[in-house]
Amino acid sequence: MTATEGKGPGVGGWGPGAGRRALGVRGRARTPARGVFAAACLVAVAVLLQLPGGARGPQAPGRVPQRIVSIVPSATEVLFAIGAGPRVAAVGSFERFPPEVERLPRVGALLDPDVERILSLRPDLVVVYASQTDLRAQLGRAGIPVYVYTHGSLADITAGMRDLGARLGLAAQAESAAAAVERDLAAVRASVAGLPRPRALLVIGREPRALRAITVSGGVGFLHDLLDLAGADNAFGDVPRESTMAATEAILARRPDVIIELHYDERATERDADLERLAWKALPGVPAVKNGRVHVLYGGAFVVPGPRVVLTARAFARLLHGVRSGIPSSGTASAPGAGIPDLTPVT
């Protein structure tokens, strides 16, 4: 059996409740069991950003925006990284970083933007997803400029940082921040150069504590690029998609040397990680399982395609090769990595 195409939240394939979380519906605190589905939802959002027809860049040239609403988590991180944090008036339902966003109003997410509240905040720029055509039309009728934040590859992240910085009159700050990310990523790549490249399976969603509805990284997108940069060959790198559903038969056939799972939950414990790893004992023939190389990473930094991808690259390099790839670049407080501790994964 071969891998099949992945499905988005609410379409099926990622378990009950996935669509509800994608809508930004809040309830009691997520349990670790829910965290894996949230990770899949955020990766699905990253995929949706790349739908055809979404052009990056200024949509309505004019004065420099001073009151910004962003409902794109990665764009929100970029805004703070390039020094535009004080201009952010509201954010989307999924924003958790930087800590300053906790005090800001929430205005919905990908599928449930609160247009009335956005309009009440009187923004002079709203950062939206490429696929939010209805929202863009409503904002256009209200005379509010929009910025469509898109990305695909790892390189697109820093390109987007520069482009957004130019739109906000912060070109120099954005250039400094983007260059810092690129330097740090280059350091990770150099640290693993010449080392044997294991075959790695990057899991971005599955049913909790069971090998069902497994979603993995395909051969396109920033997660695939991060695996490659950290010195691994993607086990599903031949699949020309950002994500794909993978049957256990397909995983057995591809024989990954290392398995890395990404979970969005920020409050996981060693016990949670142990229980998730235990599920892989059902596939003892997989080299990664046989050799004890199944790793679980918890935290939003691993699934949000923003300036913190440097931390993800370092974590991958440590798990794949046991190397520590330097420290954050020095520079201004707005530089990605400045003041952000290196991640200690629960593995």
Instruction: Please give the chain's pLDDT, 347 residues, in tens.
Output: 333 333 333 222 222 233 323 323 233 333 444 444 444 444 443 433 333 333 344 444 568 999 999 999 999 999 999 999 999 999 999 899 999 999 999 999 999 999 999 999 999 999 999 999 999 999 999 999 999 988 789 999 999 999 999 999 999 999 999 999 999 999 999 999 999 999 999 999 999 999 999 999 999 999 999 999 999 999 999 999 999 999 999 999 999 999 999 998 777 888 889 999 999 999 999 999 999 999 999 988 898 999 999 999 999 999 999 976 543 332 222 233 333 333 444 45
Contact 186, 154 (CB under 8 A): no
pTM, to two decimals:
0.79
Strands, E assignment, 111-162: 125-128, 146-148
Q: Treating both helix axes as pointing N-terminal to C-terminal, what angle do 171-192 and 222-229 enclose, rounded to 10 degrees?
A: 50
CA distance 151 to 133: 17
CA distance 26 to 42: 15
Q: What angle is formed at CA 294 by the lines to CA 289 and CA 295, rounded to 5 degrees?
A: 175
CA atoms within 13 A on the CB side of 143: 2
Q: Domain 57-189: give its CATH code.
A: 3.40.50.1980
The single-letter code of the amino acid at 212 is: R
| Token pair of 5 as six digits | 């195409």
Contact 161, 104 (CB under 8 A): no
The single-letter code of the amino acid at 294 is: V
CA distances from 196 to 193, 234, 257, 315 (A): 9, 14, 11, 17
Which residue's structure tokens are 């020309």? 240
* Cα 73–chain centre separation: 8
Q: Fold identical between 4-21+28-34+196-321 and 57-189?
A: yes
Could you count the other beta carbons within 10 Å of the beta carbon of residue 22?
Answer: 26
Give domain limits for the chain: 4-21+28-34+196-321, 57-189
**pLDDT of the residue at 152:** 85
Strands, E assignment, 84-141: 88-91, 125-128
Q: Using alpha carbons only, how large is the chain's radius of gyration in Å?
A: 20
CA distance 253 to 259: 14
Superfamily covering domain 4-21+28-34+196-321: Nitrogenase molybdenum iron protein domain (3.40.50.1980)
